[in-house]
Every structure is written in structure tokens, then in C-alpha cells.
């Protein structure tokens, strides 16, 4: 009997030696493998801030609610208890847990991770912990971040938004996603029951690399005012949409880019039309605001001067088509200045007759039409501008006064920035800087300037554009008390079905202030107003005045030190 007992004991000892000595390492690794879990360490998305560092988009504390299916004893109870906390129907929670548990029954390695809700606010934390303590339900919280937009709708069409699942949905959140999102880290650890980290277990951490912050050229206050002003005018006129752009004349920096309709990224509508940044994405025929390109081209080529006198009837027949001025008048004898101030289509055509089509095309392209401005904003268009070799007979003349060509409001604002900057176009910028690895802002390289016309031509154009806001010009509603204003009105038919809708108008005013020491370009366009006036000088110019006055005050730009000179219109009597 003792021999039998000794034999059995020797078998146990041998097996123990085999398990602990010979196969111990293998069994140990197998056990660790079963306990090993991993989870992502989310990178914090970079902020988007305005030129003064005010947050337009930021990441705030949030929580993901998760379950360990192997540790949930009563899926129905968990569903009923958790539903009012995370805002998901109880039946949906229960079904998700049960499905995971069923899948685990046939899995080689049962999953201990099931996500039930993402990016919930901080109030969920105490409620889930209370539930967990009460029921020992297998529910856990994972700390993460969610996107918040502290300024609401201000700058929303520029900034864009993140969807509920954390993916970028529009705006710079899309275009700069690689810069903003950073790189998630990873934690690999031995987990105890319930998902906790074993204190004596192995743990490997690859740290997350947070995203970079982005600083914009936008001034939040000017942006807010521009949005308020354009929204009010679009509503009052029952227009389809409207936009405002405010530029720095020297640097091309965008202080504001406002659209109506727009969105609040914290409370988005289901209408994707509100996501569009019309100021860069919608190409429209600019009408008379583009006459400054024709006139400055002619002055620069030496084919006209501000005081050259023309004979201008109220209509003219060119290339088998008759062109009209907006108002019926006797034959005028205006100067070039008078043609611009009275916005005469016929007079502008006469000025353009001495410009070869290829010459006019070259100037217009130098002004920035026909190519994307290069801001990097979502949906940016280059407009529509055919090569002069492809112009039809009538297009040769319509382009001179702003029909048969299309550009965005940002592109047209750039035309006026060029003239206000001594004839040098500086491509517009919206992104001012991004942070480096040390967290310091590094400025975006300045865009390359382009000489379009001479400084002398630009100076003459500024003086002529001041005449537009003088008594008798079409832009007198744009006058800002204490400041000299130079600008141009524009009213154009809107293309429709291969022709033009003659009761649909694109109404614009683009101006420079102060005209004597240019600092700002303010561009306004309103599409298809249905009530009130449709003229740019009466519907868009007041928005220019409101936004311009606010921007001047906000930026502490001093009033003009002189008054506008009396312009020479020539004979433009009715």
C-alpha cells in the first residue's frame, strides 16, 4: 500500500515539476495572453482660435460608456437603468449586450469590450458610477474629449464641425484634419475581472500625440458683426443668400467671412445647404463691381485717363446685340470717372473697345479671376472665366461690364485689395499660424504678392472709386461718417436655364476704407432679393456701411484727415 501511495505521489511530483519547471513559462504566457487587454489613448484635438486667441473650436472633457459583456449578469436590468442616463432606448442597450454575450460563447477569446455611448458630457460620470456601485453591472467609463464651439455660429462656415462620431464634417475641421487630430496612443495591460488593470501585471504605454492648434486671421467680433448685418438684410429682403468679406488691404488677411444662411455647429440643422461657405464656394456674375478691372486695365495700358471724355448714348449696338444702360438717358458726355460713378454699361464698353481681348483677359487673370484664391477653405472655387480665344462676339463686351464671367465674393474682394494696395495683389489668407512641437505658434508663410497695375494706376482708380460714393454716384449709401470711402456698386442678372432671369438679381457693393489711407476692403453681395430694392447701391451698400464702421472702431483705425475731392463726372445730366 505504501508503495502504491509513493508511486502516485511521485506521479504528482513529476507533473508538478513538468508544469512549474518545464512548461511553466508557456502556461504563464498563455494566462497573460488571456488577461491581456488593450485600449486606445485618444489624442486631444487641437483648438481653432481667432487672431486674438479666442477659441472658436475646442476639445472638452467627455466620457464613453462601455460594458464588459462577461461581467454583465442582468442585461435587462442594465438596459433599463442605463437608458435614461445615456439617452439610448433600454431595449437597444439590452439587445447589444445580449448579442455580444452570445458571440462570446463561440469565441476563442471572449471580448470584454462593448461601447454603448460616445462623448457624453461630464454629468454622466457621477450617474454611471452610482449605478456601477449599486448593481456591479459591468459598466465602465472611459475618459475622452468631445468638440465644443464656444462662439456658436460665429465663424461656423469657416471652422466647420465634427460629427457625433468624431469624424470631421465640414470646414477647416475637414481641410486641416491632419493637423488638428494628432495621433492616438495605445495602452496594453493585464486586466483583472471588470476591466481594471492588475497592479502587478505587465503594462505597455505608447503615449498619444495631441493635435496642433490653429490660429486664424479672423477677428471674432468683426465676424460676429458681419454675420448679424448680412443675416438681417437677407431676412429683410427675403433673399436666397448673402455674404460679407472683410480683408486687410496690405496683407490680404481675412478679418471676417460671413454668410447667411449659416449654421451653429453645436446645434446643426439637417439642411446641408447651411454648411456651404458661399463667400468662397458660390461663383456669381459680379456685374458692375468688375468694371474697375476694365477701367484700370485701360488706364494702365494708356488708352484712357480719368478725365477722358466719351460720347455715351443709353444704348449701343455691338456684335449683333444691343446693350443698354440701366436707366434711360439722353446722350451723355461723361469722363471715365463719370462712367464709373454712374455705372454706365455703354460707357464701359466704349472704354473696352481699345483693349485687345487677350489684353483684358490677362489683366483679369492677374486680378485673381479664373483661379482659386488658395486659402485652403472647403469648397473654394476659381470661378468661371473662359480664355479670350473662346469668347463669343457679345461676350467680348459683356465681360467688360461683369456678365459672362463669374467669381466668388472673396475673389472680387481681392480685386479691390489690389487697387487699395498700390496695384499689388496679395492672395488672401485665413490660417495665420499653427503650433509647433513646443506649443508655440509658427506663422504660415506669407503668400507671394503679384503686381497687377502700376501704383499710379491704382492711385487714379482709388480717386475714381471715391467718386462712386459722392453725391450723384451710385454708392452714396456706403458713406461712413468721418471716413473717405472708395467703392463700386454692382447689380447683375442671375443666369438661369442657359439665359438670364431678368427679375433675379445679384446685388453687390465692394469698397475700401479709409480711401485716403486704405486699411480695409469690405465686400457685400446679396443674391436674388425678393422684396424692396434690388440695386447694389441700396441693398448691399448699407451692409458695407454697418460692417465697415464697426470694423474701423474695433481695429482703432483713425478717421480720415481730409475730405474727398470733388470729382469730374463730365456731362451726365438727365
Residue ranges and CATH numbers for the domains of the chain are 60-142 (3.90.1310.10), 220-571 (3.40.710.10)
Q: Any residues with CB less than 8 A from the CB of 555 and at least 6 apart, and which? A: 219, 222, 255, 519, 520
State residue 193's pLDDT score.
55
Long-range contacts of 170-177 (CB under 8 A, 24+ apart): 170/275, 170/378, 171/275, 171/277, 171/377, 171/378, 172/48, 172/214, 172/216, 172/376, 172/377, 172/378, 172/430, 172/431, 173/48, 173/57, 173/147, 174/378, 175/376, 175/377, 175/378, 176/214, 176/376, 176/431
Is the link from the previous residue into 215 a cis peptide, with omega within 30 of 0? no
Of 107-111, 150-154, 370-374, 494-498, which gets the smallest average pLDDT?
A: 107-111
Closest CA to 447 of 374, 498, 364: 374
Place 201 in a pLDDT band, splitting at 50, 70 and 90. Answer: low
Is the link from the previous residue into 261 a cis peptide, with omega within 30 of 0? yes
pLDDT(176) > 90: yes
Of 6-15, 327-336, 357-366, which gets the smallest average pLDDT?
A: 6-15
With 0-12 / 13-18 / 19 or more C-beta atoms within 10 angstroms meaning exposed / middle / buried, residue 563 is: exposed
Closest CA to 280 of 418, 400, 429, 424: 429
Give yes or no for a contact between 540 and 509, defined as CB atoms under 8 angstroms apart: yes
State residue 514's pLDDT score.
98
The crossing angle, in degrees rounded to 10, of helices 124-135 and 75-86 is: 160
- Percentage of residues of the chain with pLDDT beyond 90: 67
Condensed to tens digits (0 to 9), the pLDDT of residues 446-494 reads 999 999 999 999 999 999 999 999 988 999 999 999 999 999 999 999 9
- Cα 398 to Cα 80, 294, 320, 329, 348: the distances in Å are 69, 11, 13, 20, 10
Place 419 in a pLDDT band, splitting at 50, 70 and 90. Answer: very high
Pairing of strands 48-49, 55-67: antiparallel
- Alpha-carbon distance of 319 to 312, in angstroms, equals 17
Of 40-49, 119-128, 553-562, which gets the smallest average pLDDT?
A: 119-128
State residue 66's pLDDT score.
87
Condensed to tens digits (0 to 9), the pLDDT of residues 278-333 reads 999 999 999 999 999 999 999 999 999 999 999 999 999 999 899 999 889 999 99
pLDDT(25) > 70: no
Catalytic residue ranges: 288
Place 34 in a pLDDT band, splitting at 50, 70 and 90. Answer: low
Query: What average pLDDT does the segment 175-183 reach?
Result: 94
Q: Any residues with CB less than 8 A from the CB of 208 and at least 6 apart, and which? A: 41, 42, 43, 44, 182, 183, 184, 185
Amino acid at each position: 500500500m505504501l508503495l502504491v501511495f509513493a508511486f502516485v505521489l511521485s506521479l504528482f511530483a513529476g507533473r508538478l515539476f513538468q508544469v512549474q519547471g518545464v512548461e511553466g513559462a508557456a502556461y504563464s504566457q498563455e494566462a497573460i495572453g488571456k488577461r491581456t487587454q488593450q485600449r486606445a489613448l485618444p489624442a486631444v484635438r487641437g483648438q481653432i482660435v481667432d487672431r486674438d486667441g479666442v477659441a472658436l473650436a475646442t476639445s472638452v472633457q467627455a466620457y464613453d460608456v462601455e460594458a464588459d459583456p462577461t461581467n454583465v449578469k442582468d442585461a435587462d436590468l442594465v438596459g433599463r437603468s442605463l437608458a435614461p442616463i445615456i439617452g439610448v432606448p433600454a431595449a437597444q442597450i439590452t439587445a447589444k449586450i445580449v448579442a455580444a454575450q452570445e458571440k462570446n460563447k463561440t469565441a476563442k477569446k471572449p471580448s470584454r469590450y462593448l461601447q454603448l455611448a460616445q462623448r457624453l458630457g461630464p454629468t454622466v460620470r457621477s450617474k454611471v458610477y452610482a449605478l456601477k456601485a449599486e448593481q456591479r453591472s459591468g459598466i465602465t467609463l472611459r475618459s475622452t474629449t468631445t468638440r465644443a464651439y464656444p462662439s456658436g455660429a460665429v465663424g461656423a462656415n469657416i471652422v466647420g464641425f465634427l460629427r457625433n462620431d468624431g469624424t470631421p464634417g465640414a470646414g477647416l475641421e475637414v481641410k486641416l484634419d491632419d493637423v488638428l487630430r494628432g495621433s492616438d496612443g495605445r495602452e496594453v495591460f493585464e486586466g483583472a475581472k471588470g476591466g481594471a488593470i492588475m497592479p502587478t501585471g505587465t503594462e505597455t504605454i505608447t503615449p498619444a500625440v495631441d493635435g496642433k492648434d490653429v490660429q486664424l486671421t479672423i477677428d471674432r467680433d468683426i465676424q460676429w458683426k458681419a454675420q448679424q448685418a448680412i443675416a438681417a438684410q437677407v431676412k429683410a429682403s427675403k433673399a436666397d443668400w448673402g455674404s460679407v468679406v472683410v480683408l486687410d488691404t496690405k496683407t490680404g488677411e481675412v478679418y471676417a467671412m460671413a454668410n447667411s444662411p449659416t449654421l451653429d455647429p453645436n446645434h446643426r440643422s439637417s439642411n446641408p445647404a447651411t454648411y456651404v461657405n458661399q463667400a468662397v464656394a458660390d461663383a456669381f456674375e459680379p456685374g458692375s463691381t468688375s468694371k474697375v478691372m476694365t477701367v484700370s486695365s485701360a488706364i494702365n495700358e494708356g488708352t484712357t485717363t480719368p478725365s477722358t471724355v466719351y460720347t455715351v448714348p443709353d444704348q449701343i449696338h455691338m456684335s449683333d446685340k444691343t446693350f443698354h444702360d440701366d436707366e434711360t438717358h439722353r446722350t451723355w458726355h461723361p469722363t471715365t470717372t463719370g462712367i464709373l460713378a454712374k455705372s454706365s454699361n455703354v460707357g464701359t464698353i466704349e472704354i473696352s473697345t481699345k483693349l485687345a481681348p487677350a489684353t483684358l483677359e490677362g489683366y483679369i487673370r492677374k486680378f485673381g479671376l479664373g483661379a482659386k484664391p488658395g486659402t485652403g477653405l472647403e469648397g473654394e472655387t476659381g470661378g468661371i472665366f473662359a480664355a479670350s480665344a473662346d469668347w463669343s462676339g457679345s461676350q467680348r463686351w459683356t465681360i467688360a461690364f461683369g456678365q459672362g464671367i463669374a467669381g466668388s465674393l472673396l475673389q472680387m474682394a481681392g480685386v479691390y485689395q489690389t487697387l487699395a494696395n498700390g496695384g499689388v495683389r496679395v492672395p488672401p489668407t485665413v490660417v495665420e499660424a499653427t503650433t509647433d512641437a513646443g506649443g508655440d505658434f509658427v506663422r504660415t508663410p506669407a503668400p507671394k504678392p503679384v503686381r497687377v497695375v502700376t501704383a499710379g494706376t491704382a492711385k487714379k482708380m482709388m480717386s475714381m472709386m471715391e467718386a462712386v460714393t459722392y453725391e450723384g454716384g451710385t454708392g452714396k449709401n456706403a458713406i461712413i461718417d468721418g471716413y473717405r470711402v472708395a467703392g463700386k456698386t454692382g447689380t447683375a442678372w442671375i443666369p438661369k436655364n442657359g439665359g438670364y432671369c431678368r427679375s433675379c438679381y445679384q446685388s453687390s457693393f465692394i469698397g475700401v476704407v479709409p480711401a485716403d489711407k486704405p486699411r480695409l476692403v469690405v465686400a457685400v453681395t446679396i443674391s436674388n432679393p425678393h422684396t424692396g430694392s434690388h440695386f447694389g447701391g441700396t441693398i448691399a451698400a448699407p451692409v458695407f456701411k454697418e460692417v465697415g464702421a464697426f470694423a474701423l472702431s474695433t481695429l482703432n483705425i483713425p478717421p480720415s484727415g481730409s475730405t474727398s475731392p470733388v470729382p469730374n463726372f463730365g456731362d451726365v445730366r438727365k
